[in-house]
Structures are given as C-alpha cells and as structure tokens.
Chains A and B, each alone.
Chain A
Amino acid sequence: MITLAASFLMLAGGALGAWALRRAWRSPPENGAGYRALGWAAIIATLVWPAFLLGDTRGPLIALAMVSVAALVVVATGATVRAARAGKSVRAGRVSDSLAPEPLDRPTTRWRSILRWLLAGPIGMIAAMAVGVCYAVWVPGEPQTRLLIGGLIVPVVWGGAMAWTLADNRIIRATAVLVGTALSGFGLAILKGFA
C-alpha cells in the first residue's frame, strides 16, 4: 500500500518536473531559467526521495518508471493536431521539408556490406566477450561480482560496437579496432587467469 501511494506521488513529481521543463523550453531563453530549475529539481527529487522510503535501489528504479510515464503524459497533453498536409512537399518538388536529418546515402559494395554486418555481429560479439572476460580477470573483487559485471559489459560493448560499425564509413578502421580489442582482451585474460 505504501508503494502504491508512493508511486502516485512519484507520478505527480514526474509530471510537475516535465511540465516545468516544457514551460522552460517554450519560453524565451531569458525567461525560462526558473522553470528549468524547478523542472530538474522536481525530477531529481522524485528520483531521490523514494530511496529513503522504498529502498536504496528499488525506490529510484520505481521512480524511473513513474517519471517516464508521467513525462510521456505531459508530452501527450501538449500535442498539436494539424490538418493533413501530406504530399504537399512532394507536389511542390521538395522531397523533404522536415527538419530531421536524412540518413547518409553512402556508396557500398557487397563485400563491404558483408564485412560491416560481420563486424556488427560475430566480430563485435567476440570483441565484447574479450572486454567482459578481461574485466572479470583483472578487476579486483568478489568472483561473482566480477563475473556479473563482466557479463553486463558484454551486451553494452557489443551494442556500442554494433552502432559504431554500422555508422562508420571507415570500415578498415573498425575492423582493426575490433580485432585488436578481441586479441588483446583475451590475451590479457589468459595472461593472468581467473583467481
């Protein structure tokens, strides 16, 4: 029951923070400072106080979920509904009047594409495993902690490698870095061994 009541308070705190930030961002820069401070203060406070009531890890994690929901509700309440105008830009000969950037249209070959996906997939995975294993071997601490954090490092590094290799135009550089990371990571791990 306490958790439920606290969750509603977190929703309110998150909504207050998001509302104030929206006011700040919609105001001219010289007028928005107060709302900006209120917004961040409300969000930070909402993430902190549950730690004292609901547990030092559990409370802030509940707050993260509640603040996200509240902020999305605030975003939804500020939605602007516009008349359909699709196709106007095309008819006017402007293929993209959106402010959003367009993905790069880079020339490629089949082999470069295959290498890019190999780097994002298996080679990135091996490099990430090497970093995780290297961490587990070299960083001091309880074996369970080293193994778990090493395990958590794997998806993070793999995900980062995936994002990088699929974006980087210099594919040889990406290949060299990932292969080098894999070799040095496993090499360093074997050098010391797990103790």
Chain B
Amino acid sequence: MTATARRKPLLSRVPADFVRAVLKGHSSLGLAFAAIIYLVCLTGSIAVFVHEFQRWESAGAPRLTTVSPEALQRALEAAIARVGGGVEHAYINLPTPDLPQARISVEKDHVQHGWIFDAAGNLVAPGDAPFSEFLTRLHINLHIPGSWGTFIVGLTGVALLSSLISGLLAHPRIFRDAFHLRLGGSRRLQEADLHNRIGIWALPFHVIVSLTGALLGLTTIIVGVLGMALFQGDTAKVYALFIPQAPKEDPRPAPIIDLRPMFPVVDRVAPGGLTDLILLEHPAEMGGAAMFNVQREDTHLSNYDAYAFDRTGKLYHRARSSENNLGERILGSIGKLHFGWFGGGAVKIAYALLGLGLTYLAAGGVTIWLARRRDKRNPAPGLERLWAATVWSQPVALATTTLTTAVALGGISKQALIMIWAVVTLIVLFSALRVEATALSLWLKRAAGVVLIATALIHMLRFAPADPVIWSVDISLFACGGVLLWLTRRAVLRPMPAVSQ
C-alpha cells in the first residue's frame, strides 16, 4: 500500500462496486416506500404540535391551571349521567402547561364520548378535537382499521432505518462533502446535495424517530412473538410486566367511584407532582379502580409515577419513576422522544424542522431517481407527474382539512375529515393523468398556500382568541401559506423537454 493510499480516509477506501450495490438497494427501498415515508414524516412533523392544535380546535374553551377534586368529581358524575351509565372506562385529562384544559371522556359500548369541563366541573363544550385526532391517527395507523395500519407504519420505520444504514454506506465522501450545497445547477446535483446534507447532519434525529417509530408500530407483533416464544402464547403476561394489574373484576353496580379522597394520598406520596391523567376502570361497579399518572418535577426523560387505587381509596399499586429499571425508563421515554415532547417549545420547533427535513429527504430521493433517468435520456414523465401529485397533494389535502375544521368548528367529525382528505388526495392523483408535473406542483403549492392563509384568517376572525398559543398556531398557518406562495413567485410554466429541462 502506498503512502497516499494510507492517508486516504477510511470511507474513501470502500470498494466502488460495494458502494454501487448498496446504492442499488438504497434506491430500490426508497422507491418502494417513498410515498408512505413521505406521508408519515409530513404528518409526524405537524403532529409534534398536536397539543397546540387541540387548543386551536377548542378556542372558546376555558383555560385552567388547576382543577379542584370536587370539580373533577362533579365532571365525572355529569359525564356518566350524560351517557346514561354503563361506562366501562373513563379518562380525565387535567390541565398542564402544554394543554391548559380539563377534559373527560367516557367509554360505553366501545364508543368514546368526550367533554371539556370548567373550574366548577360543568361540562361546557364537546371534548372532541377531530383535526388533531385525524392528524395523529393518520400518522400512527394511516386510518387503516385493526393493527394493520400500525404495522405498516412500523414497517415504514424499519424501511427508514434501513435506508439510513444503506445511505451511510453508499456515501464514501461523507466527511469531504459535509458542507457542499450546490443550488441552481443541475437538478440532480442540487437534490443530491440537499438529500445528503440533510441526511448526514440530522442523522441522530433520523435514527431516533425511525427507531422509536418502528418499535411503537411493531409493538403488537413483537409482543405477540415474545408471548408466543416465551409465555406459551399469553401476551397478557408480557403486558403485565409493564402495566399495573386491575383489581379483581366485580361487576356489581355501585355508586360512582369517589376520587376526592385519593388526591391527598397522591399529594403525600408524590409531593410536588402534577397529576395530568386519571384512568378509571369500571367507575360505577364494585370492581372499580382509578390510576393517577403523576408528572414529577425532575430532569429525567421518563418522569411519570403511577398510583392505582381501588374504589375504597386504598392505594394498591405504586410505580415511582425514580425507582424504574432501565426497561421501564426506556418505555416511558419512547413516546416523548418520538414526538419531541421533552424540552418545551424549542425542541418542538427543532423536531418539526428536522421532521420536515426528513420529509424532504423522502421526496428528494425519488426526485433524484427521476432526474437520473432524465439525464440518461430515459425520462419517465408519467412517474414525474404521479410523484409531483403525490408530494403536493398532501399539503393541499391537509390544508383543506384545517380549513374545514376552522369553518365548521365543533360541527365536523373525524370521519368527515378523513373523507375530505381522501377525496382531495384522489382528485389530485387523478389530475396527474392530464396535468404536467411542473404545472401540477406550481398550482398545488399555490392552492395549499391560499387555503392555509384562508384558514388562519377565518380562525382568527371567528374566534379572536385570547390564548397566545392559538394565535401562534394561526400565525404559523399563515406563515406556512406565505412560504408556499413565495416558493412559486418566479415560477414560469414551461413544458418539460423530452430529455432534459
């Protein structure tokens, strides 16, 4: 080996054929999963702000900092009365700095009914947040029923993780090129630079979200296999290692469980803690139970204690976050790490920006492949149109659902939003049969921009919200619309040439 060869960086010594083979795999995988990775990443980037969107959707609801146990008990009794008893579960969300509202939902015959309640415990508004629910479920399971949707999203996380591995291996000039960003030249070079720079500098974020997302999506199947291999098929035994056992089932009717005596106990065992969720099992049966999730004021990522009471107020289970083992700490951190809910607004904004970068990575990969085909005198105009429609249909479809929510606040359901999203997406995809890719991108950007600006203006004028967070959501929607319109400012519609633009 010569002295020059010895000085070459390690990655530069990777054989060219190996790099090309890995690149082939990277390209195949990217093409197979690009559309779904794009959708999951785009919705995930927006879902970082789901609490802010929940506030935006309930603009007129009372803002609270605390709720008294008496008010909470009154709200529970009122909610159970509204559905006429027979409640299997109830969930009470108490005010937090992120979401300063008190919400209760009760489950009867597997249907949930929710309300927002005020400081006196009166149910004052519907508790549904259809847009937030629509958005998060689109991210989590693509609105596909059963476990299939979650599995597909988990598989997408694995494909993303795999693409990160192959992308790294296929990039021997990773350090030499770390700051190269050439814009405005050939389309392929520009997109490749953007793809590689975002891919490298945001790599830790990409690994975190794809790994946690894959684990969250594959939980059902992983637990199923663990149960089958290790517990003779009993998956409940796997869950029992992490979730407190409910008291022995006793379906005899009983007065509604009294939560008030439990609060002093929680205050005593978790001083300074903030109860933000109470889960109730069979609140009007003798076998009823209540579990308090208490957020501790410490610097741990996993900082929730769990205290469970039977209906007599006896504390039968306690799990302090400070006493958790590594597995329990990892479990308590995964959701926060995935959505960026562990460092306040700054981390949320960083996550949204990096998430949009990941979204661009997915979209740009296909653009590079299409540009490469064009450079090789083998263009695929049909696929270019389809990809432009796929990418730009989503901002338009999602913006349309926000506009619908702003116009019909309180009068729209999640199912209606799913229909609107699906119809807009299909219309745009079918338009790719006739409309050229550049024109399609241009008009869809403009449409999404206009709809977002209209959403922000309508929402602001309709509610004149007092909550600064709601204002910031409206301003962000307006700004996103403005950016989309700005991107089209110098666009000139030219038909795509047969080989090269």
A interface, CB within 8 angstroms of B:
3-4, 7-8, 18, 21-22, 25-26, 54-59, 61-62, 64-66, 68-69, 71-72, 74-76, 78-87, 89-91, 95-96, 98-106, 120, 129, 132-133, 136-137, 141-152, 154-156, 158-160, 162-169, 186, 189-190, 193-194
Binds A, one of B105-113, B120-128, B211-219: B211-219
Instruction: Check if B225 sits within 8 Å of A129, measured CB to CB.
Output: yes
**Chain A neighbourhood of B183, CB < 8 A:** 79-82
Instruction: Check if B25 sits within 8 Å of A144, measured CB to CB.
Output: no
Is B130 an interface residue, CB under 8 A from the partner?
no
**Once the chains are docked, how many angstroms separate the CA of A52 from the CA of B165?**
31
CB < 8 Å neighbour of A144 from B28, B218, B241: B241
CB-nearest residue of chain A to B497: A87
**Chain B neighbourhood of A152, CB < 8 A:** 211, 215, 330
**Once the chains are docked, how many angstroms separate the CA of A102 from the CA of B342?**
41
CB-nearest residue of chain A to B377: A90
**Once the chains are docked, how many angstroms separate the CA of A67 from the CA of B330?**
23
**Chain A neighbourhood of B161, CB < 8 A:** 155-156, 158-159
**Chain B neighbourhood of A22, CB < 8 A:** 178-179
Contact A3 B344, CB 8 Å, known A166-B24, A167-B166: yes
CB-nearest residue of chain A to B187: A86
**Chain B neighbourhood of A90, CB < 8 A:** 375, 377, 499-500
Q: Which has the most chain A C-beta neighbours within 10 Å: B189, B230, B298, B353?
A: B230
Is B182 an interface residue, CB under 8 A from the partner?
yes
**Once the chains are docked, how many angstroms separate the CA of A150 from the CA of B354?**
28
**Once the chains are docked, how many angstroms separate the CA of A159 from the CA of B325?**
27
CB < 8 Å neighbour of A98 from B189, B214, B299, B344: B189
Instruction: Check if A190 sits within 8 Å of B229, measured CB to CB.
Output: yes
CB-nearest residue of chain A to B223: A151
CB < 8 Å neighbour of B214 from A100, A146, A155: A155
**Chain B neighbourhood of A151, CB < 8 A:** 215, 218-219, 222, 226
**Chain B neighbourhood of A71, CB < 8 A:** 201
**Once the chains are docked, how many angstroms separate the CA of A143 from the CA of B328?**
10
Contact A155 B499, CB 8 Å, known A25-B178, A61-B342, A98-B186: no
The 6 A-B pairs of least Cβ separation, nearest first, read: A55-B299, A87-B500, A166-B25, A144-B327, A145-B327, A159-B161
